[in-house]
Structure 1
Amino acid sequence: MRVKGKVAVVTGGGSGIGCATSLRLAEEGAAVVVADLNEEAAANTAEVIKEAGGDATFVKTDVTNPDDVQQLISTATQTYKGLDILFNNAGISNQELKLTELSLEEWDQVINVNLKGVYLGMKYAIPEMEKQNGGSIINTSSVLGFKGKKYQAPYNASKAGVVTLTQNAALEFGTKNIRVNAIAPGVIDTPIVDGWRENEWKWEIISKANALRRLGKPEEVANAVLFLASDEASFITGSTLMVDGGGLTF
């Protein structure tokens, strides 16, 4: 078991990549604190882990709210006496509109969830990791953090910001034995892309826009997170791992 005895916090753990990663970390021996704004979804993920013989708890969390994030980290450290892994995964997309047509409210919401949420997770988790001389943080960026896409301005900007924020944190806390990396998924079969399916012509293109010519699975992303969280990645920090089926090169 690659993370046996470790304590992990997963934001956005109620569905998609977050759920799959919560299950995968638990399978490999971690106690998992599942965080999500959707309390029912988070509770369900935690219950699935426990039914399989794992250890999990859930915390309703708005990752844009500092008090919520502090409480999340506090719950993890008080319940399990430490924190070893943080997967900052909670994220949202935006309406497909030109940036001049987007409301200020929608811009702020996407930036707050996707970028501020990552910042807050690290802000409150890193001091706890420092106390135990180490930890591993994985932040969710996107292939769209590396290339532009029409009508996705706030999403693209937020995910590009995650890449550089990850590098900053890696540089600042490497001497504390805290590794900070990111993943950049491509088009993964999760609820966040459900809206794209409605346009059959467009979906036919998007769903095969990579070298492997297929959608990615949440479990495939979870495996990448597990690797970065584990000691197998002990000399990897400040990096962003593409999990996109070759989408960036397509």
Structure 2
Amino acid sequence: MDLSTVFSLNGKVALITGASKGIGFCIAEIFAAAGAKVVISSRKQDVLDQMANKLKTKGYEATGIACNVGNMEELPLLVEKTVEKYGTIDILVNNAAVNPVFGPVHETSLETFDKIMNVNVKAAFELCRLCFPYLRKSSGASVINISSIGGLSPEHGLGIYSVSKAALISLTKVFAKEWGEAKIRVNVICPGLIQTKFSEALWSNEKIMNMIIKQLVIKRAGTPDEIGTMALFLASSASSYTTGGVFTADGGFTI
């Protein structure tokens, strides 16, 4: 078996949301290193141009397309521009997420609830729908949703965020079942504490970190690379018999 072929994404086009930094950008860089043409998306075009150029200087094929995934009317244009640039979509990574509140769930406003659900669940649903005509034509279509361990068991102070991530896990399984005949694989990754700007309030707080470390088998925070390489497995033919899977990368927190 030629492992360089098994994990290769040569000729594939990958669309990744929330990809100007953190886990999303790391996934994009790893996919590009594996041979994929990557479209990175987030809200600010100038930042995306900067990050796409960073990939290009390494010899990778990359394009940045701005889109606020919380605005459903912007999603069709994101897909259209991706196809206009590269001709198709083989891999979709729904990574974009928000968590604007911390505290008791009963203190979450309806407006905040809607914002969290729109970005974390509804956008993933709609992008899957919009990408379906292209994914079904691919010889190796893969959808990868980025959830959270909060989707498996609600995290303290992150009530509706946890609800949204649980919904994303369920949505993954629904699409996996329905899209099997179209040969589209759909899987979900549930990271634990990963050292990114998104989670900085946790890992930069010594008291909180000490509490978290006590609950981990691997006594440290994870890195974006450790999510990116798992995503590569799920995007490549290495996982050709894997769909509907829920993969944790959490240092053993959920054991």
Q: TM-score range by the shorter chain?
A: over 0.9
Question: 2:207 matched to which residue of 1?
Answer: 201
Q: Compute the displacement of 1:93 (Å).
A: 1.7
Kindly indicate whether the alpha-carbon contact (under 8 Å) linking 2:23 and 2:224 is maintained by their aligned counterparts in 1.
yes
Kindly indicate whether the alpha-carbon contact (under 8 Å) linking 2:14 and 2:91 is maintained by their aligned counterparts in 1.
yes
Q: 1:33 to 1:107 in 2, by over 3 A?
A: same
Confirm whether residue 63 of structure 1 aligns to residue 63 of structure 2: no
Q: Compute the displacement of 1:202 (Å).
A: 1.6
Residue type matched to 1:130 in 2?
A: R
> Which has the larger displacement, 127-136 or 182-191?
127-136
Residue type matched to 2:184 in 1?
A: I
Counterpart-to-counterpart distance in 2, 1:121 and 1:42:
19
SS at match of 2:108: coil
Q: Compute the displacement of 1:197 (Å).
A: 4.5
Question: 1:4 matched to which residue of 2?
Answer: 10
Counterpart-to-counterpart distance in 2, 1:208 and 1:214:
10
Kindly indicate whether the alpha-carbon contact (under 8 Å) linking 1:42 and 1:59 is maintained by their aligned counterparts in 2.
yes
Q: 1:208 to 1:119 in 2, by over 3 A?
A: farther
TM-score, length-scaled by structure 1? 0.95
Structure 1 unmatched ranges of 5 or more: none
1:140 to 128, 146, 151: 146
Question: 1:87 matched to which residue of 2?
Answer: 93
- How much is the aligned-residue C-alpha RMSD, in angstroms? 1.5
Q: Compute the displacement of 1:150 (Å).
A: 2.2
* Identical residues among aligned pairs (%): 34
Confirm whether residue 172 of structure 1 aligns to residue 178 of structure 2: yes
Structure 2 unmatched ranges of 5 or more: none
CA offsets 1:5-54 (integer angstroms, 9 cap, x no match): 11000000001000100100000000000110132332222111111001
Q: Compute the displacement of 1:206 (Å).
A: 2.6
Provide runs of 4+ in structure 1 moved above 6 Å. none
Kindly indicate whether the alpha-carbon contact (under 8 Å) linking 1:15 and 1:41 is maintained by their aligned counterparts in 2.
no
CA offsets 1:180-210 (integer angstroms, 9 cap, x no match): 0010000000111112246431232235632
Q: Compute the displacement of 1:87 (Å).
A: 0.5
